[in-house]
Structure 1
């Protein structure tokens, strides 16, 4: 470990790095587990998925932060994982891997050519936000259906989330998870028979490709990653005064995603929420030393990734209502932010609303999922409304 890193590190930066790692895992790891279960993946494949994402995040967070002496935090695609809950079960896993690789290659190409900003200008921010909100909405409403199955467990988690949101917002999701675990234990709903401390073993899946996987997974995954993670991630960095070029960051994460896709990684990109934790004044009073928080976050990622099999077995021990509830609670903020951004521009409001409604409907036509149909519907609506002759 570089001596400068040890010199620049403070207790607050280590804590910030740990909190960022914990926030990332507790808020969205459940989505990968839920998507894997829905698609019928084995425990080994889910473990490899977690390992690939964690190792990629660790290497990129540590490497980029040390390279630029800037708090660059990398995270897996949370909205991408939410998308896969609905689209992965209908696609053979090898074809899904091929779609992951295609999306990652497209991101890498955007980084190498510097076309990121030019490309995203063709997708209005309001439509991208509506697409994100629509994808996440399908997961968010599941908590209210789960109330019918296990009302005490789910309502206990819901109200503990609200209480923590008022008193300690950063720990709201973690609080709800802990309350859920306690309630599940009291009702005898935890099954740790398959739990044990085990290292993750990477599982290679030879990729293949189909038109259906490209349309239902590859293209939406690319759009969501670029619009809902890379753009906000850069915004967080620049808001904190770090003016980094976008191309090297996008290229690095795109390459890492491409190389790790055969092991299950659906994509790693710039973080937003966890980036803000490591880039803010709470991480270190000196802005030039906040990069240490991101480095520690990356190191914690690496440790967690090595025990990916243990994490997968841990979530397998939880009742399904708990998994559904914590996933929904973790996405409330993202849904709200997406809807707020989608409705900001009056001239694009109708198109954004249609994008959201089509995406949230779960519509599937010709094997193509609702995420792409929502974007197509929104763009068509926007084009038709703007083409109207003033009258």
Structure 2
């Protein structure tokens, strides 16, 4: 079977980013022909070269289109348009696929996948990574009411025309279900994590990292990910400073890059508890997460963000580090049901600092929560099992 994959951003484990589709494509390409239509945005950002850029068996067509987190709305929009034009041309030129797999974000990548599928008269599967256009609209990036209506109409048509829809969280599935889509068209396949890379976070590797960075014997809180506008970074900075006053020996690590990096850098200069850690390749992130006592998964208070499926949530639990989440969606329900973390409402730095102080003071409960999280991660988060689910969806869609 020939599968054409439309995904604007391809990464591998050498990149400072999640590599969900690297794992999924590696699994699927063992049995099927895979053509990936993407961009080379992330390839220059590789921090190591331990992994091939492409999984074995995957054919790639990649456009040279720059993109980064600090881009404004207009620049991002232009990058999306460029990819759409490139993907449309390549999608019509490649040998006719049996099924097309269109991956958002952005929504435009899925839109062009649907259009190529229609033109080539093949079924297509729509994977929803984030709820677009709801996310940029709630973030204030699209203010024009007419444009909002047009984007929502385009989104609805994509859901209706797709042979099948994959979402990355129960919250996303509920959103799509409310649009009137039948259950037979919906599959929830979690973001998940790479358990083979989790295994790199051995006790020896963790102890070495803590010793190397002066963390031995100190409580550690970690935020690992993008310093974006949606991630509530100003609240975390205020929390770290408040926590330092409550518990001076705590170290708060901010690992990543993005819009709020200057804010964190300034805070680190004035507060000894705050440290800015450069972005790490994905395969090394797990040791950092395992070195932390608590991982924070934070977002601003917007309803659309209650549905998301952040990689750091899965990665943290997989290495046995409990998480604090700040959105009252499915992640809150998950950590409370499995007792592997805690919920603190978004944008409340004092409440978050006090909760972290209590959690860090209860060492036995921290360890127990981490163990429970690790157990559930082994059962539910393995990307090899999730890849097999995606493969079955694509095979059924292709008939």
TM-score for both structures, normalised by structure 1: 0.23
Structure having the larger proportion of residues in strand: 2
TM-score for both structures, normalised by structure 2: 0.23
Structure having the larger proportion of residues in helix: 1
